[in-house]
């Protein structure tokens, strides 16, 4: 249960909002594409709302974020601030996905120390 207060968003430059919206949408589509490639999923066309404010909330709702970060997006005082933050987050998340895609399972090529693949032991241990 929570208390919700709708905030009026201050919008300044319509052209700037359109540019930010387009940039966030491109990054979001690339992010979804990278994610789908890693998990072997299918990417369906994304239909974004045409209104920049609605598009910013759409992206926020579909990002896999911690609660505190999602709350920061909800508390943004304007659409341009929210879109700027989403652009930053999407860049970070895409970098993480890029690193994840390059990584191998840590022990996929390790054969047992005695040459027996059924007798696997971890060569490195935090203990």
pLDDT of residue 127: 36
Tell whether the model's pLDDT for residue 55 goes beyond 70: yes
pLDDT of residue 111: 52
pLDDT of residue 43: 87
Question: Span 45-55, mean pLDDT?
Answer: 94
Fold of 14-102: Methane Monooxygenase Hydroxylase; Chain G, domain 1 (1.20.58)
How many Å apart are CA 86 and CA 123, to the nearest integer? 41
Which tens digits make up the pLDDT trace of 89-125?
Answer: 999 999 998 888 877 655 455 555 555 555 554 444 3
> What is the residue whose two structure tokens read 């998990």?
39
Which tens digits make up the pLDDT trace of 35-48?
Answer: 888 888 888 999 99
pLDDT of residue 124: 42
Separation in Å, CA 24 to CA 75, 90, 101, 108: 18, 8, 22, 36
pLDDT of residue 125: 39
pLDDT band at 28 (very low <50, low <70, confident <90, very high): very high
The DSSP annotation for 15-83 comes to HHHHHHHHHHHHHHHHHHHHHHHHHT-PPPPP---SSHHHHHHHHHHHS---HHHHHHHHT-SSHHHHH
Residue whose C-alpha is closest to residue 64's, from 49, 39, 52: 39
Which tens digits make up the pLDDT trace of 57-72?
Answer: 999 999 989 999 999 9
Question: What is the value of pTM for the model shown?
Answer: 0.72
């Amino acid at each position: 249960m929570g208390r919700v207060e709708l905030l009026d968003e201050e919008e300044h430059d319509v052209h700037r909002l359109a540019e930010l919206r387009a940039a966030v949408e491109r990054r979001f589509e690339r992010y979804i594409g990278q994610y789908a490639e890693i998990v072997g999923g299918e990417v369906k066309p994304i239909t974004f709302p045409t209104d920049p404010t609605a598009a910013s909330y759409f992206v926020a709702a579909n990002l896999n974020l911690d609660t505190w970060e999602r709350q920061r997006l909800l508390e943004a005082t304007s659409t341009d601030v929210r879109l700027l933050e989403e652009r930053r987050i999407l860049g970070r998340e895409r970098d993480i996905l890029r690193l994840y895609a390059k990584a191998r399972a840590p022990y996929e090529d390790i054969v047992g120390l005695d040459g027996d693949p059924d007798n696997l032991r971890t060569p490195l241990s935090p203990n």
